Structure 1
Amino acid sequence: MQEISDSESVHKHDCRLGINKNTATLIPLFCLFLLMSHLDVVNSTNQKINVYQFTSQDTPNEVEEPLLTGLDPKCRGIRAGVLSEVLDVEDRDLLKDTRTSFIPSQPLIIPAECQQKDISVDANDRKTEEYQKQINKKTLNFLRKKRHELQIDFHHPPLITSTSPSSINDDGNTTEVLHELPDEPLHVLRRRRDSDGGAFDTTSETRDVLWNTENTEKESKPELDETEKISCTNCRPKVVSLNSFWKGEGTREKIRSTQAEIMKQYIDNSVDPCVDFYQYACGNWEKLNPIPKDKAAYDTFEKLRESLDTVLRDLLLEEPKTANTVTQTNSVDGITSLNIESTENPPQTQENHQPDSIDVQNALDLIARYLQNHNPESRLLKRLQNRHDIHRKRRELDLQNLDGTNEAETKARNLFISCMNYELLEKRGVEPILDLAKSLGGWPVLDPHWNESAFDWLNLTAHLRLHNNDIFIVEWVGPDIKSSDENVIQFDQTSLGLPTREYFLKDSNKAYLEAYREYMITVINILGADYANAVQASNEIVEFEIRLANITSAPEERSNVSVLYRRKTLKSLTEEIPQIDWQKYLTIVLGQEVSMNETVVMFATDYMKDLVALIEETEPRIVANYLMWRFIRHRVNNVDDSFNEAKQKFYFTLFGREESPPRWKNCVNQVNSNMGMAVGAMFVRKYFDENSKRDTMAMTNELQQTFREILNSTEWIDIATKHLAELKVNAMSLRIGYPDFILSHEDLNDKYKDLEINPDKYFENTLNVLKHLTRTEQSKLRQAVNKTAWNTAPAVVNAYYSRNKNQIMFPAGILQPPFYHRYFPKSLNYGGIGVVIGHELTHGFDDKGRLFDREGNLHRWWSEDAIKEFHNRAQCLINQYGNYTVQEVGIAVDGENTQGENIADNGGIKQAYQAYKQWLDQQTDPEVLENEILPELNMSSTQLFFLNFAQVWCGAMRPEASRNKLKTAVHSPGKFRVIGTLSNSPDFAKEFNCPAGSPMNPTNKYI
């Protein structure tokens, strides 16, 4: 619909005659309202509008289920049934909430066009003088010298290279093809040679921007290295620009064409989709995207994560906005066109927001009140209500922020600057580590005068916990799994220095254990111990950790959470394990006296008793060396590069990574991991499209309804259990994009008010961050659980389901391509974010999620018959996935460990496809149906649904990384997330006409 300005309405609408100036805007808007209302009536016959009433009936009391299968066997530290591959930077096996993640890590797509261009800091830098003064002078000098580490090159135009049938020589070799450049500026990723013209630098990508075809003849074109060529006869030229994917900068046609080209590049047409759909959908991925040397694996998510890292780096180097900037940005009055189709709405980021004038807002409010009284189901009313809420919130935040200072974001930028200030880090060397060791009582291997009589292992353990390290004793304050509204102190068994206990106990892992020992020797030696002492101490530490691993419970022994769970008073715990002064430990960690009547939950009683016995029979010097090693091994990341070579050698053995990533990537990761809300605020204001929140909410409602329909048609679940399951899905809370508080300077500053960050002291900043994280967590004690709180940063690509909170969370990062775009066909959005939504909904009813009720409490609410039927069906999936083998390493997928994610994958795609088909069947407009296909791909809309789902999982992994991942992962490899799920789908077989009995349409389907 064409937008009508106030001035245009005065001349074009006769109905305004006789109306005073204050109401001149109302008449055209009311006419608009009449038209929109008519559209509502017309469309109501073709599209259902679902309104769901979430009930809050009490769940009947149930008897606790005798045999629970609630924990994944790889759940090292039980943490109340938690399992996630998203780990803290310290020795945390698990997060502090019982939640699952859609993918093991967080990627994001950020096109070059939307990234800050002017981030290099040299003599010609275009930053303002005022901003330069805000950055430490030493840091500026460092950035000038080290700008190549940021890999920004503004001097050479990018070349687009590829191979095609016409570029293959007679001898079969591949030659490069230089494609004609488009008329508009182009932004691509290109690897570059070292500045001295030496070896080709594959540690990272170079982003070339700010050039036009007009000056290409004036620029010298760098020679391409052989590693840039693609030896693939069927691969298409990599000429796709990403600008059409961002902030509405491309037309619908361009965006759709771009996505089609991307999808077409990965397809291997030589493969029959009914034989191996993963190879069909992703066959050209690895040829087009070889694993970089600084990566252990490379897939769609890792590729997107690189873009995220780049844009976050740019934001952290960007000039902070002042109150004047905010005022100027939000001073334009205007009206954005109201469009009935949600996918047609223009992007509403925080930066391009234009608030309504008073007259316009009053008119919209009047229309909304009329609709509320006469047509409460109107689609227009829902748009107006959503618009009103957004504008009201933004106006409030704008007023709050005018006089506020953005201290939190300044702290995040200073943390990044301190991390990047290598010149200063090099001057300080390893002295900060040595000073820290002394402040903690000394490290025996480095201190010949270490006082053994003054050593207290429990005191040191507690002080390391203050630095967010769980060594010997895992302690946290969080929701009680059987009383999810209550935050209590909880204890569990220790984590270890390698991913699992098997690394220490199985002979097949000797090579990894030896690499661990060698790394330890090198670190201790660099810190000042002579080589012989370093070897002796390292041998003793490893032998001690082998014994420690032996007293931890094996994963299969921890599958029954109700057996492990012990709620008691601190007095009772002290009586049971008197060798540990629990009150003393907690007083140090909590920073306050703790009553002996305090409630605690223990998950590792036998381990604690064995720990005491192990420590008593071990020399104090060895115990102290072990504790300090576990802590200091992380601190070597916070000084100069003295330890880089040793770390790289260790990680090569463990994961196959050939090179270390550039420093700036590690710095970005640390800031986003530890100050994620501050970084998220920068990201959301500049890049997040508010329209995606509405679309995601609508799609979630659709998939919830689809879930109910599938649930009600399921014959093996009894009526009573179905009723409780429906109450649970109705009660699921949804968090989309970001928490509102991050857009308020006052609230965001308050979150980090006790965190001190100095741009010159990276090592101390890291310690301050760790202590801040501990204080924040421990402060929850005796507070009611906030079930609406966010526990993840916005700038990540992942999705989560929290069992304790019965909450689904979609951070801003995942509402991007390939999961979602407002101009994508619905087929792609349902095959992308739709599957993610269904996946997370299903987690509430998988092998772990089903143990928690709608309030997030652990207790039995399924009938005995339903439990039995569930286990039978789950075992079929366990067997199916257990038969898949990663051929490169000859290791089978662990069907038991991955069953929860496999259940969610299978349930998610079934719900998403059914919801899409229901939407598709309701469409009668030929133009809408025509838009559901991509002309560049000879596929139906339903086939595109499955193709987009599959291509999300394209990727490759080094053999060493595969071996390690298969031992610990709760997610199946991407290939089998595609093959396993689609071979169970009759819908897939129907859409691709797969013959019965073919590999992708087996006779026996397991879900």
Structure 2
Amino acid sequence: MKYEVDTENNAEKRASLVSPGNGMSGCLVLVVLLLSAAIVAMSATMYVFTSARLNEVTLPPLQEDGHTCQSDECIISAARIITSLDPSADPCHDFYQFACGGWIENNPIPDGSSQKNQFQVLNDDLTYKIKHTLETPDTTLTLKPLKQARSMYKTCMDEETMEKMGVEPMLKVLRAIGLTDLPLDHEKRLNETDDSELAHWQSVIANSERMLGYSILFSLHVGEHPMNTSKFVIQINQGNLGFPEKVSSKESEEEAKVIEVYIAHYIDLLVKRVPGAKVNTSRVAHEVLQFSKQLRNLTVENENKKDLLSQLEEITFADLQNITDSNLNLSISDPNRLNWTEYVNFVFDGLNVTLDFDSELIIVKNTEYFQKLSELLQNTPAETIERYIWWRVFSALAPHTMKEFREARKKFWQATTGIIEDLPKWKVCAYKVNEIFGMAIGYEYIKKHFNEEAKQKALEMVNDIHKAFEDMVKEVDWMDEATKNITIQKINAVMPFIGFPDWMLIPGAMEKYYEGIEVVDGEWFASHMKIVEVYHNTTLKKLNTKPDRNIFVAFPTTVNAFYSPQMNSITFPAGILHPPFYGLGLESLNYGAIGAIIGHEFTHGFDNDGRQFDLDGNLKEWWTNKTLTEYKSRVQCIVDQYSNYYFEPLGKNYTVNGKITQGENIADNGGLREALRAYEILKTRQAQQHWGRKSAPDPEPYLPGFANFSHKQLFFLGYANMWCSNETPSSLKESLKSDVHSPGRFRVLGTLSNMKEFAEAWNCSAGTRMNPVKKCVLW
């Protein structure tokens, strides 16, 4: 499980600076000169518009030694923040509009996209660097995994060859996992076809899981034991439907008609390419959708799930068989009976893993789902189940063949979700290849765009935030001493991973990491299947080994941050350690941006889910009842607060779901408080180093054009600026419905309105929107 800062990958390119070491010197000088001139002009204009507002704010006097930062980073940060501001907005009424109004106006949503935000802007810049790496010719010194990545990228980009090959590569995959070329007609069953090699549907979904990484009906994987992370265990959970949530629910009849037409049309595209084929695609589409909706009604929603521990059962496969066999009128040989022995034997076939079905303990999540699933399968014709499985695999593979399938899928997603998906081919291929060879590509990236100094500075910030969080826990009055002491132990046990894994720099380590991976030049499907099978089998074979807790959970090229409750670790890849999150010239901006993200990840260890794991990552209840009651009361305050937020243009029917977003909102609120406390720790240390005493004039310079702003005000601007975003109404509606993150606007308004330090910095009167009398404070 990974908790993530909100980000998507579908923004278009925004102009970016040339990276250091690549002919940057002359370009950067020109850019800095232009920005400097722009800042002078814009700051004068800004002063005119903001003077009335800032006269209402009590600003600290300039220190006698105060000076303006003239570094390239400061000038660039100043230009970005000035152009992001809406000086006409009242920071005490709507700080998001004040900090981001200009950004929203200056950053329209690109054609072919449904949103644009700061994460996407940085991700676009990074994706162009990945593109450059993948399009650079090999040399004799190129690592083998990077050569393989470039080969796959070249194959992915070769649309002409893909069009000539048509659907045959996909049909080979369908056959390989035991499916027919087309959905079966209504007179034949899958295991009654003339081809004796085609197997029962349970072996097909096992092959799909193992060979393609696609989970159908349910998922099986090997992972750390939730209650004992010193060992691996088989874990079984409910699957996903393969459709957007809203078109699978019974309330969405209009969307259901759209998806039914889409399924039929998608199958028709294949049928016309198979000589002599005849399929009643409308009937197949209706069956698939109806079965999907029935599955949807069985699933246990995240919002309605109880605490994590109560969702899990540690049982044997024999126990699970008894659960799924209960209340059924099926014989042992019935084709619709879930046969766990048969399924697991297919998944682990040839891996030399010994399983005792009567004694091997497994973790099953939401056993009620499997009991209901078994009942549904009993009452569903086997042909319907088989057509549904065929559709799930076919619809996942088809977009990787011919352009007409990709165009049809794009129109479907736009029609059902309102979200536009229209990425250029090179970007799609860069994403796909990076998902497989992210470590090899990341190795090239860190050599050119990341350095040890950045890593060490980030580690210093992590240590400051660690200390700040520990101090804050000591000060809270709602925790008893026993829980407080264990909480501090867990904070001290958090393992930070920054930039990239150290092993990447060891000669030969990269080749070992990708050992067993094969790439067939010019054949995407063949290569993809081989790679997925190697990865999946490697994971399955971990069953009898011990987990390695020294794991970097993301590729260095990731623009995101993570907390792992099982490992009690926080990870900040090199990809996110760039502006507008890091390297901003002033520590007030750095701590307000990446510092808040670091604090966010620390706090995930103590949100509504993370708090259920102990310092070793084991799922257990370690809070006393008294402290837990106090905790839940304060969390409910946050749930209620965010549930009242809505976008005025959409109306009050589209509110934030405070329940499903509570974990991220807890992390946002706690993370920013920790970052501010950490910044104060830094300032004390700097004063001691600069003046020889803890209380002294602030040695940190001012931002160009922001001499009238205190560093605390810049801290809050740094935080707000990273959540500036632009979304279409459809994208907002979809986000409000299912995203575990609140929209950027409310990540700013909700968090800052809970902080008295913000109100003090901006001199916001009590009772104003940004300084409400009631504040929700947990940490």
After TM superposition, the score normalised by the length of structure 2 is: 0.86
The alpha-carbon deviation at position 708 of structure 1 amounts to 1.5
Question: Which has the higher mean CA deviation after the structures are superposed, 649-658 or 279-288?
Answer: 649-658
Pair 1:847 & 2:604 matched = no
The alpha-carbon deviation at position 471 of structure 1 amounts to 0.3
State the distance in 2 between where 1:763 and 1:185 align: 47
What one-letter code is carried by the residue in structure 1 that aligns with 2:594?
Answer: I
Render the CA deviation track for 1:334-354: whole Å, top value 9, x for unaligned.
xxxxxxxxxxxxxxxxxxxxx
What one-letter code is carried by the residue in structure 1 that aligns with 2:151?
Answer: N
State the distance in 1 between where 2:16 and 2:742 align: 29
Matched residue of 1:785: which SS?
A: coil
What one-letter code is carried by the residue in structure 2 that aligns with 1:718?
Answer: D
The alpha-carbon deviation at position 768 of structure 1 amounts to 2.3
Pair 260,252 (structure 1): closer, same or farther in 2 beyond 3 Å: same
- Which residue of structure 1 lines up, in the alignment, with residue 348 of structure 2? 590
- Which residue of structure 1 lines up, in the alignment, with residue 40 of structure 2? none
State the distance in 2 between where 1:705 and 1:259 align: 28
1:314 to 129, 132, 140: 132
8 A contact 1:499–1:968 mirrored in 2: no
State the distance in 2 between where 1:184 and 1:947 align: 26
Render the CA deviation track for 1:152-192: whole Å, top value 9, x for unaligned.
xxxxxxxxxxxxxxxxxxxxxxxxxxxxx9996779xxxxx
Pair 1:253 & 2:79 matched = no
1:300 to 107, 114, 118: 118
Render the CA deviation track for 1:831-876: whole Å, top value 9, x for unaligned.
1111111111111111111111101111111111100000100000
- Which residue of structure 1 lines up, in the alignment, with residue 156 of structure 2? 419
What one-letter code is carried by the residue in structure 2 that aligns with 1:887?
Answer: E
1:601 to 341, 363, 380: 363
Pair 599,252 (structure 1): closer, same or farther in 2 beyond 3 Å: farther
The alpha-carbon deviation at position 908 of structure 1 amounts to 0.9
What one-letter code is carried by the residue in structure 1 that aligns with 2:339?
Answer: D
State the distance in 2 between where 1:910 and 1:686 align: 34
State the distance in 1 between where 2:17 and 2:278 align: 48
1:287 to 64, 84, 105: 105
State the distance in 2 between where 1:683 and 1:498 align: 35
* 1:389-404 alignment, distance < 5 Å: none
Pair 1:474 & 2:219 matched = yes
The alpha-carbon deviation at position 884 of structure 1 amounts to 0.2
Pair 1:631 & 2:412 matched = no
- Which residue of structure 1 lines up, in the alignment, with residue 698 of structure 2? 929
More relative contact order, 1 or 2 (CA 8 Å, 6+ apart): 2
- Which residue of structure 2 lines up, in the alignment, with residue 276 of structure 1? 94
- Which residue of structure 1 lines up, in the alignment, with residue 205 of structure 2? 461
- Which residue of structure 2 lines up, in the alignment, with residue 441 of structure 1? 178
- Which residue of structure 1 lines up, in the alignment, with residue 299 of structure 2? 552
* 1:285-684 alignment, distance < 5 Å: 285-323=103-141, 406-443=143-180, 445-446=182-183, 451-454=189-192, 456-466=200-210, 467-500=212-245, 503-507=247-251, 509-528=252-271, 533-578=280-325, 579-591=337-349, 592=351, 593-596=354-357, 597-658=359-420, 660-684=422-446
Render the CA deviation track for 1:370-427: whole Å, top value 9, x for unaligned.
xxxxxxxxxxxxxxxxxxxxxxxxxxxxxxxxxxx61111111111111001121111
Render the CA deviation track for 1:601-626: whole Å, top value 9, x for unaligned.
11132222222222232222221111
What one-letter code is carried by the residue in structure 2 that aligns with 1:282?
Answer: C
State the distance in 1 between where 2:176 and 2:184 align: 12
* 1:794-805 alignment, distance < 5 Å: 794-805=556-567
8 A contact 2:450–2:574 mirrored in 1: yes
What one-letter code is carried by the residue in structure 1 that aligns with 2:518?
Answer: E
* 1:951-966 alignment, distance < 5 Å: 951-966=721-736
Pair 1:792 & 2:554 matched = yes
Pair 1:749 & 2:511 matched = yes
The alpha-carbon deviation at position 440 of structure 1 amounts to 3.4
What one-letter code is carried by the residue in structure 2 that aligns with 1:743?
Answer: L
Pair 300,511 (structure 1): closer, same or farther in 2 beyond 3 Å: farther
* 1:670-819 alignment, distance < 5 Å: 670-744=432-506, 746-819=508-581
The alpha-carbon deviation at position 919 of structure 1 amounts to 2.4
Matched residue of 2:377: which SS?
A: helix
State the distance in 1 between where 2:648 and 2:257 align: 26
Larger radius of gyration: 1
8 A contact 1:418–1:758 mirrored in 2: no
State the distance in 2 between where 1:663 and 1:109 align: 17
The alpha-carbon deviation at position 532 of structure 1 amounts to 6.9
State the distance in 2 between where 1:316 and 1:117 align: 17
Pair 1:996 & 2:743 matched = no
What one-letter code is carried by the residue in structure 2 that aligns with 1:986?
Answer: K
Matched residue of 1:284: which SS?
A: helix
What one-letter code is carried by the residue in structure 2 that aligns with 1:102?
Answer: V
State the distance in 2 between where 1:830 and 1:437 align: 51
Pair 559,234 (structure 1): closer, same or farther in 2 beyond 3 Å: farther
The alpha-carbon deviation at position 461 of structure 1 amounts to 0.9
Pair 1:114 & 2:14 matched = no
8 A contact 2:74–2:704 mirrored in 1: no
The alpha-carbon deviation at position 252 of structure 1 amounts to 5.5
The alpha-carbon deviation at position 909 of structure 1 amounts to 0.8
- Which residue of structure 1 lines up, in the alignment, with residue 750 of structure 2? 980
State the distance in 2 between where 1:770 and 1:116 align: 36
8 A contact 2:399–2:409 mirrored in 1: no
What one-letter code is carried by the residue in structure 1 that aligns with 2:175?
Answer: K
* 1:859-870 alignment, distance < 5 Å: 859-870=620-631
State the distance in 1 between where 2:279 and 2:164 align: 28
Matched residue of 1:684: which SS?
A: helix
- Which residue of structure 2 lines up, in the alignment, with residue 246 of structure 1? none
- Which residue of structure 1 lines up, in the alignment, with residue 196 of structure 2? none
Matched residue of 1:298: which SS?
A: strand
After TM superposition, the score normalised by the length of structure 1 is: 0.67
State the distance in 1 between where 2:580 and 2:745 align: 17
The alpha-carbon deviation at position 633 of structure 1 amounts to 1.1
The alpha-carbon deviation at position 921 of structure 1 amounts to 3.9
State the distance in 2 between where 1:913 and 1:417 align: 47
* 1:64-143 alignment, distance < 5 Å: 98-105=1-8, 111-114=16-19
State the distance in 1 between where 2:434 and 2:242 align: 24
Pair 1:883 & 2:701 matched = no
Render the CA deviation track for 1:255-279: whole Å, top value 9, x for unaligned.
2112101110010000010010000
What one-letter code is carried by the residue in structure 1 that aligns with 2:547?
Answer: V
* 1:202-213 alignment, distance < 5 Å: none
8 A contact 1:463–1:588 mirrored in 2: yes
Pair 475,182 (structure 1): closer, same or farther in 2 beyond 3 Å: closer
State the distance in 1 between where 2:214 and 2:420 align: 29
What one-letter code is carried by the residue in structure 2 that aligns with 1:868?
Answer: T
8 A contact 1:654–1:964 mirrored in 2: no
What one-letter code is carried by the residue in structure 2 that aligns with 1:577?
Answer: T
What one-letter code is carried by the residue in structure 2 that aligns with 1:473?
Answer: F
Render the CA deviation track for 1:449-506: whole Å, top value 9, x for unaligned.
9554445121111011111011012111001111111110011112112243x53224
Pair 897,306 (structure 1): closer, same or farther in 2 beyond 3 Å: same
Where do 5+ consecutive residues of structure 2 fail to align? 33-43, 48-68, 193-198, 326-336
What one-letter code is carried by the residue in structure 1 that aligns with 2:161?
Answer: L
State the distance in 1 between where 2:420 and 2:224 align: 41
The alpha-carbon deviation at position 963 of structure 1 amounts to 1.5
What one-letter code is carried by the residue in structure 1 that aligns with 2:205?
Answer: T
8 A contact 1:116–1:315 mirrored in 2: no
The alpha-carbon deviation at position 673 of structure 1 amounts to 1.5
- Which residue of structure 2 lines up, in the alignment, with residue 948 of structure 1? 718
Question: Which has the higher mean CA deviation after the structures are superposed, 723-732 or 832-841?
Answer: 832-841
State the distance in 2 between where 1:301 and 1:659 align: 17
